[in-house]
Amino acid sequence: MKSVHKTVLLNETIEGLNLQKVSSEKALVVDCTFGGGGHSAEICKRYPSVKIIAFDQDQGAFEKAKDKFKSLDCEIDFVNANFKDLEKFVSSGVDGIIFDLGLSSDQLENSGRGFSFMKDEPLLMTMKENPLPEDVTAGDVVNTWSETSLADIIYGYGEERFSRRIAKRIVDARQKAEIKTTFDLVKIIDSAVPASYKRGRIHPATKTFQALRIAVNDELGVLKIGLQSGFNILKSGGRMSVISFHSLEDRVVKRFYKEVEKEGVARLINKKPIIATSEEVKNNSRSRSAKLRVLEKK
Nearest to 25 by CA among 52, 53, 50: 50
Confidence band, pLDDT 50/70/90 cuts, at residue 24: low
Asked whether residue 135 is assigned to any structural domain, the reply reads yes
Asked whether residue 3 is assigned to any structural domain, the reply reads no
Domain end marker among 180, 198, 217 = 217
Domain end marker among 217, 245, 276 = 217
Asked whether residue 263 is assigned to any structural domain, the reply reads yes
What is the C-alpha end-to-end distance of the chain, expressed in Å? 42
Which ranges in the chain belong to alpha helices (H)?
10-17, 38-46, 59-65, 86-89, 105-110, 138-144, 147-156, 163-174, 182-192, 195-198, 206-217, 219-233, 247-262, 278-283
Residues 123 and 76 in one domain: no
Pairing of strands 234-244, 94-100: parallel
Residues 99 and 126 in one domain: no
Residues 30 and 94 in one domain: yes
**CA 160 from centre of chain:** 20
Q: Does the pLDDT at position 20 exceed 90? A: no
Residues 185-214 have pLDDT tens digits of 999 999 999 999 999 989 999 999 999 999
What residue numbers bound the domain in which 173 lies? 111-217
Asked whether residue 5 is assigned to any structural domain, the reply reads no
**257 vs 16: CA distance, rounded Å:** 15
Determine the pLDDT at residue 25: 67
Asked whether residue 26 is assigned to any structural domain, the reply reads yes
Q: Does the pLDDT at position 93 exceed 70? A: yes
Determine the pLDDT at residue 260: 98
Residues 118-176 have pLDDT tens digits of 999 999 999 887 778 899 999 999 999 999 999 999 999 999 999 999 999 999 999 99
Residues 211 and 168 in one domain: yes
Asked whether residue 2 is assigned to any structural domain, the reply reads no
* Residue 205 CA: distances (Å) to CA of 73, 96, 192, 201: 44, 37, 10, 12
Contact 217, 228 (CB under 8 A): no
Which CATH number belongs to the domain containing residue 85 in this structure? 3.40.50.150
pTM score: 0.91
Residues 281 and 256 in one domain: yes
Domain end marker among 185, 217, 249 = 217
Instruction: Give how many domains the chain has, as a whole number.
Output: 2
Residues 196 and 230 in one domain: no
Determine the pLDDT at residue 3: 45
